[in-house]
């Protein structure tokens, strides 16, 4: 447990905005755990967060910090107050190729609804827009695949960065051990 927490990046947040498919949301959570994301932020303004698929998510939700927000504004203002730069994914010519972005600082990546993308409010509030360029006939990747691609690049850029051990991580470790020990 300690090794997992030691590799978590508390300054890396994935924001899930109005993603309706349970398999997509579950796969994103699984990728977040795999790539050391410190926390997940849920912004659901026009639907209910889908029930997580235990098989797809491999039950990782119990190991993740998941915060819920009632609006894009509430989410972005909270992240900015913590010094986190917010990037919304967006299918426009104005969006920046994700490979050209330095993700070594505090970063949040917003993944929007499968059909509508990030909300206009989220895009307007974000510090920038990102795109995963396509070279084939399709316009975009499945949102869970896009999440994994983005997180793989962030992990590549941060591969030599050892996240600091913090009081928050110590408390998290203690709560995990207590929770798992009490199950026996």
- Taking all residues of the chain, what is their mean pLDDT, rounded to a whole number? 93
Instruction: Quote the CA–CA distance of 140 and 146 in Å, as a whole number.
Output: 8
Sign of the dihedral defined by the CA atoms of residues 34, 58, 28, 39, in that order = negative
The CATH number of the domain covering residues in 2-182: 3.40.1280.10
Q: Which residue has the higher pLDDT, 182 or 158?
A: 158
The pLDDT of residue 38: 87
Instruction: Quote the CA–CA distance of 30 and 34 in Å, as a whole number.
Output: 6
The whole model's pTM is what?
0.93
Tens of pLDDT along 95-118? 999 999 999 999 999 999 999 999
The pLDDT of residue 137: 95
- What residues does each domain of the chain span? 2-182
**Residue 57 confidence (pLDDT) above 60:** no
């Amino acid at each position: 447990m300690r090794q997992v927490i030691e590799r978590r990046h508390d300054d890396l947040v994935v924001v899930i905005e109005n993603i309706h498919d349970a398999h997509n949301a579950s796969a994103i959570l699984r990728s977040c755990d795999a790539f050391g994301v410190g926390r997940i932020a849920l912004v659901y303004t026009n639907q209910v967060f889908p029930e997580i698929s235990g098989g797809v998510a491999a039950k990782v939700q119990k190991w993740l910090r998941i915060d819920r927000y009632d609006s894009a504004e509430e989410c972005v203002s909270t992240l900015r107050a913590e010094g986190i730069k917010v990037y919304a994914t967006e299918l426009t010519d104005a969006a920046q190729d994700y490979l050209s972005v330095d993700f070594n600082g505090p970063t949040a990546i917003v993944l929007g609804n499968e059909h509508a993308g990030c909300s206009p409010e989220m895009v307007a509030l974000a510090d920038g827009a990102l795109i995963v360029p396509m070279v084939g006939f399709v316009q975009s990747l499945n949102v869970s695949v896009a999440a994994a691609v983005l997180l793989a690049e962030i992990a590549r850029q941060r591969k030599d960065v050892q996240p600091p051990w913090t009081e928050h991580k110590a408390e998290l470790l203690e709560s995990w051990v207590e929770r798992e020990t009490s199950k026996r």
